[in-house]
Structure 1
Amino acid sequence: MSEAASNIEWITASALIVDETGLHARPAVKLTKLAKTFEASVEIRGEAQERWVNAKSPNAVMKLKAAYNTPLQIRASGPDAAAAAEALADLVERNFDG
């Protein structure tokens, strides 16, 4: 994490990936589309991963390769950060509405 990122106030959430195929292309696109509806900066990572990725980038989200039963950590910063973190966690918990 960069020094600048450590000075940001983040709202956090987490949700368990329940899709047996993990965070593959279709759920990744749904997640990024939702993230893009918020002004807040939104980042995600798998629980065991150190690096956060931009939740508004389909490519970055797919590269996480988050597997089934992995807790997905979500953090957001900005004017609608709480709503963004909650909405993304809800989407994951609903199995990406699939």
Structure 2
Amino acid sequence: MNKHKASVLMRHEVGLHARPSVKLTKLAKAFESKIDLGLSPDGPWVDAKSIVKVMATKAPKDSTIYFRAEGKDAKAALDALVMLVDGDFQDGP
């Protein structure tokens, strides 16, 4: 299996609250890979496809979000999630 890791700075003004969490989990669910999210490179990790678990992280503005994914589309999943967070959770162009 393909395993990948990535990290990105949370720049959203209010951090990982409801709307960004919904966008993140919706995007994560579009991929087959197992995707985890953490606020430290060593965890603890939560399922990035679970809105309740993602919101429970309460990631504040200027924190680093770490992702790890395992599966055939792991790299594509992390690339998309990093782009979403780095783009301040804005919809496409």
TM-score normalised according to structure 2 size: 0.91
Of 43, 65, 81, the residue aligned with 1:72 is 65
Runs of 4+ in structure 1 off by over 3 angstroms are none
Shift of the alpha carbon at 1:46?
1.1
Alignment of 1:34-45 (within 5 A): 34-45=27-38
Of all paired residues, the percent bearing the same amino acid is 45
List gaps (5 residues or longer) in structure 2: none
Aligned equivalent of 2:26: 33
Structure with a larger share of its residues in helix: 1
Partner Cα separation in structure 2 for residue 49 and residue 69 of structure 1: 18
List gaps (5 residues or longer) in structure 1: 1-7
What RMSD in Å do the two structures reach over aligned CA positions? 1.6
Partner AA of 2:90 in structure 1: D
- Cα distance change of structure 1 residues 68 and 83 upon mapping to structure 2, 3 Å threshold: same
TM-score normalised according to structure 1 size: 0.86
Query: What is the CA deviation profile of residues 29-84 of structure 1, one whole-angstrom value per residue up to 9, with x for unaligned ones?
Result: 00000000000000001137731000000000000010000010011100100000
Aligned equivalent of 2:7: 14
Of 50, 63, 77, the residue aligned with 1:57 is 50
- Cα distance change of structure 1 residues 48 and 86 upon mapping to structure 2, 3 Å threshold: closer
